[in-house]
Amino acid sequence: MSRAARLEALREAGFLSEEDAALLSRDAPLLEDGTAEAMIENVVARFELPLGIGLNFVINGRDRVVPMAVEEPSIVAAVSHAANIVRQAGGFEAGADRSVMTAQIQVVGSPDPVVARERILAARQELLAQADALEPGMVRRGGGATDLEVRHLRPRGSASRYEEMLVVHVYVDTCDAMGANLINTVAEGLAERVEKLSGGRVFLRILSNLNDRRRVRASCRVPAHLLAWHGFPGDEVARAIERASVFAEQDPYRAATHNKGIMNGIDAVAIATGQDWRAIEAGAHAFAASDGTYGPLARWTLLPDGCLEGVLDMPMAVGTVGGPIRLHPVVQAMHRMLDVRGAADLACVLGSVGLAQNLAAIKALGTTGIQKGHMALHARSVAATAGALGDEVELVAAELIAAGQIKVAVATERLRALREARQPRAVGDGSA
């Protein structure tokens, strides 16, 4: 389909309103100068990424089309392929924790850290009430401070030259907000009282991006026969996927790339929906190493009944209010297209996309290899890099794929030959 036809198909299916379809079809910049100036400092231009649509998702029984802003070829195609397999098996199941974020308050120099810890814990209810008073709107929306704990950190290793410290954790339910600014307000607002209780001095007062109390879990079960492709039987593909998962469980070098594949999908959706994708990345990788060894965020198991089961478990701090969601017109349109019903719903979408992206990657890795499909889709980008325009892109890309040479130098030569063949020959040039 052409871009216009794709937008019309989404509109006809009810995923886009007429207004949003018209917005996305504009050739003019979708982010106005004034809006860009209001978002960050020292604006000199607007940087654009392709915005694609991941198809075939069924998440908790609902059909979803998923916006993905990303520069890498094959990500959108791969996730749509995997989602279609899972769709035939009933779709993804996903659930998210309450939106509990962590405020950290660092205390050093307490005369007796053990006594200071006890005094802070004894004042738990007072401090939680003070936290709620700092953000009364959050309490009215059903959120607010939920708990408090105090960690005693003793110097070890290379940090032995430093004094021991206390770290106060205040846990706050931020409802449908990602909540970074709210958490930082709480941390700073409680600092003076914590300092008096501890007898020490407060230094850092800020959120933690290791949001292990705000996690998403997504899962799917796929009968092995649905995994058959390119001459590989389904049960063989399922075993290959399980072996890839075990590899990631046993080797941090593999786990890093395993998780990068998951984040290919999650980051693309996070950018398209106006999330702090750097915070999501930080939390994901910290959680992957939280038991002392870096491991996979998603695991796959071939069950005795012949089904392949995938489970993803990771932190997911996302929001449906505040930040660029209030300002960016495309982000707003993408939330409407997803029909997002709160932060937990959005977290379930991102978790399911991450699991689908992982399935697509290790399915290819365990069978045909990653490059066959990736490079075929990359051929269009290579053709465009060589200077192909309009229909030249597809024609040159097809020749690159047929030749098995997805290289700019080859594309440049094929483009030159194509243009020479299309030039009309002058009368008398001997061609008669």
Between 3.30.70.420, 2.60.40.10, 3.40.50.10420, 3.30.450.40, what CATH number should domain 100-208 receive? 3.30.70.420
- Choice between 17 and 398, residue whose per-residue pLDDT is larger: 17
Residue 171 CA to residue 176 CA, distance in Å, equals 15
Write the DSSP assignment of 194-230 as a string of letters.
HHHHHSSEEEEEEEES--TTSEEEEEEEEEGGGG-BT
- Choice between 240 and 425, residue whose per-residue pLDDT is larger: 240
Helices (H) and strands (E) in the chain, counts: 16, 10
DSSP 155: P
User: What is the predicted pLDDT for the residue at 139?
Assistant: 94
100-208 and 31-96+216-368 share a CATH fold: no
Q: Which residues of 114-151 are buried (b: 16+ CB within 10 A; e: fewer)?
A: eebbebbeebeeebbebbbebbeebbeeebbbeebebe
Does 413 have pLDDT greater than 80?
yes
Q: What tens digit of pLDDT does each residue of 232-290 get?
A: 999 999 999 999 999 999 999 999 999 999 999 999 999 999 999 999 999 999 999 99
* Token representation of residue 93: 């199941």
Q: What tens digit of pLDDT does each residue of 309-350 get?
A: 999 999 999 999 987 888 899 999 999 999 999 999 999 999
Residue 107 CA to residue 201 CA, distance in Å, equals 5
Q: What tens digit of pLDDT does each residue of 101-132 get?
A: 999 999 999 999 999 999 999 999 999 999 99
Phi, psi of 54, deg, nearest 5: -80, 130
Cβ within 8 Å of residue 330, ≥6 positions away: 23, 24, 30, 31, 51, 272
Count CB neighbours of 31 within 10 A.
17
Does 69 have pLDDT greater than 60?
yes
User: What is the predicted pLDDT for the residue at 225?
Assistant: 97
Q: What is the mean pLDDT of residues 224-229?
A: 96
Q: What is the 3-state secondary structure (H, E, C) of 284-332?
A: HHHHHCCCCCCCCCEEEEECCCCEEEEEEEEECCCCCECHHHHCCHHHH
Q: What tens digit of pLDDT does each residue of 21-68 get?
A: 999 999 888 888 888 898 889 999 989 899 999 999 999 999 999 999
Q: pTM of this prediction?
A: 0.88
Count CB neighbours of 250 within 10 A.
12
CA distances from 182 to 104, 162, 315, 371 (A): 13, 30, 18, 44
Task: Please give the torsion angle defined by the CA atoms of residues 269, 273, 278 and 282, in that order, rounded to the nearest 10 degrees.
Answer: -60
- Choice between 381 and 265, residue whose per-residue pLDDT is larger: 265
User: What is the predicted pLDDT for the residue at 432?
Assistant: 41
Q: What is the mean pLDDT of residues 353-378?
A: 82
Place of tokens 């495309």: 330
Cβ within 8 Å of residue 120, ≥6 positions away: 127, 148, 150, 166, 168, 194, 197, 198
**What are the residue boundaries of the structural domains of the chain, listed by start?**
31-96+216-368, 100-208, 373-422
Q: Which residues are catalytic?
A: 72, 260, 276, 374
- List the beta bridge partners of residue 53: 67
Q: What tens digit of pLDDT does each residue of 159-195 get?
A: 556 789 999 999 999 999 999 999 999 999 999 999 9
User: What is the predicted pLDDT for the residue at 136?
Assistant: 93
Please report which confidence band the pLDDT of residue 376 belongs to, taking 50, 70 and 90 as the band edges. Answer: low
Q: Is 383 within 8 Å of 397 (Cβ atoms)?
A: yes
Residue 320 CA to residue 310 CA, distance in Å, equals 27
Axis-axis angle for helices 343-365, 234-250 (nearest 10): 110
What does CATH list as the number for 31-96+216-368? 3.90.770.10
